[in-house]
Amino acid sequence: MESAKITQNGVRLSSVPPSETVRIQKLEGGHTFVSRLASLGFTPGTPLRVIRNFGHGPLIVHVRDTRVALGRGEADKIWVEEVTGEQNG
């Protein structure tokens, strides 16, 4: 799996390697998709940690004290940015 460099400009969650902590920048998609993810705690500004990302199949992330499995298509619609300094947890 080739991972993208995480910058303040953001990358898709699907390209973030395991054990990286990032912050949700924005969600792409329709109202139903965005509402469902928001109900799971995926809101802009929220930090999350990638637990598993093999480069294919689902990702497992840790967000708001919960592990969530996301399909690759879902992860492609979540833009994240680097967590810097004291915000890195």
pLDDT at 29: 92
Q: Answer for the pair 61, 48: CB distance below 8 angstroms, yes or no.
A: yes
Name the residue type at position 77: K
**22-45: pLDDT as tens digits:** 999 999 999 999 999 999 999 999
Domains of the chain: 11-87 (2.30.30.90)
How much is the mean pLDDT over the chain? 88
Q: How far is CA 31 from CA 6, 28, 37, 52, 68, in A?
A: 27, 9, 10, 27, 20
In the structure, what pLDDT confidence band is assigned to residue 1 with cuts at 50, 70 and 90? Answer: very low
pTM above 0.75, yes or no: yes
pLDDT at 87 over 50: no
Q: Answer for the pair 20, 50: CB distance below 8 angstroms, yes or no.
A: yes
